[in-house]
Amino acid sequence: MHAALSDVVFDLFQNSIEAGAMNIGVSFWETADEIHFSVTDDGRGMDFEGLKRAEDPFGSDGTKHPGRRVGLGIPFLRQTAEQTGGRVEIDSVPGKGTRIEAVFPAAHLDLPPEGNLVLLWLQCLTFGGDYQLKIHRMCRESDGRVEEYRIDKAEISEALGGLEDTNTVGLLREFLESMEEPFNK
């Protein structure tokens, strides 16, 4: 199992990249009793057999490492859901894309911590490649108050003139920290 939920999300994001996705959406929402995240992409998608392989820890599509017989990304997600009483939904259409959604009970003792979301977004935004990415982060308190932000890779990249060099990535981190700050109160 991954040590933090942010690691699970990044693993799914990485799958989208490896599926050749050009448009990726990532959401991470919290309410008083649930944590919800989703990763949606327009990558190559999977048919029923492909989905079965993705769910099997001893299965891999074998394109990257011929001869390798292990693939743990989705099984880690499944494991996290099973041990916390959460749920996972995967919709995938070959040639169209994949949507993975997971919901976990926030108070469950075995739920991994959220992890560092600033670093997660930084990793997703600067992975390298022409893909577009839209991020939605939201928190709804029990009194109904909502804190949220949206990040669009195209807008950020335009404002910073690229997302490559360490200076822009440093500024991007400051930007993301300012976005995430209200959530830590």
Partner 1 sequence: MAKMTLETLRKLREEQKEVIERRDSGDKSIHIIVGMGTCGIAAGAKEALNVFLGEAYTRKMDNVVVKQTGCMGLCYAEPTVEVKMEGMPDTLYGNVDAAVARKIVNLHLLGGKLVNDHVFDYPARDINKE
Q: Provide the β-strand partners of residue 87.
A: 103
Helices assigned H by DSSP within the chain: 5-18, 48-55, 73-84, 117-125, 153-160, 166-180
Give the helix/strand (H/E) hosting 88: strand 87-93
Instruction: Check residue 161 for interaction with partner 1 (CB under 8 A).
Output: yes
Taking CB under 8 A as the binding criterion, the range among 20-28, 33-41, 101-109, 170-178 that sits at the site for partner 1 is: 170-178
Q: Please, which of residues 140-159 interact with partner 1 by CB under 8 A? A: 149, 155-156, 159
Which DSSP category does 85 fall into? Answer: T
**Burial (Cβ within 10 Å: 0-12, 13-18, ≥19) of residue 21:** buried
Interface with partner 1 includes 110 (CB under 8 A)? no
Residue in 128, 137, 123, 126 with CA at minimum distance from that of residue 183: 137
Residue 160 CB, nearest approach to partner 1 (Å): 5
Does 185 engage in binding with partner 1 (CB under 8 A)? no
Least distance between partner 1 and beta carbon 33 (Å) = 26
Token representation of residue 166 = 């360490």
Is residue 169 close enough to count as binding partner 1 by CB under 8 A?
yes
* Cα four-point dihedral sign 176, 178, 181, 183: negative
The yes or no reply on residue 20 touching partner 1 (CB under 8 A) is no
CB of 56 to partner 1, least distance (A): 14
What is the spatial distance between Cα 176 and Cα 183, in angstroms, rounded to a whole number?
12
User: Stretches 46-54, 84-92, 135-143, 161-169: which one binds partner 1 (CB under 8 A)?
Assistant: 161-169
Quote the least distance from Cβ 48 to partner 1, whole Å: 23
Q: How far is the CB of 115 from partner 1 (least distance, A)?
A: 9
- As measured in angstroms, the least distance from the Cβ of 46 to partner 1 is 17
User: What token pair was written down for 124?
Assistant: 């997703």
Which positions lie near partner 1, rule CB under 8 A?
2-3, 7, 10-11, 14, 18, 64-68, 71-73, 76, 116, 119, 122-123, 126-128, 149, 155-156, 159-161, 164-175, 177-179, 181-182
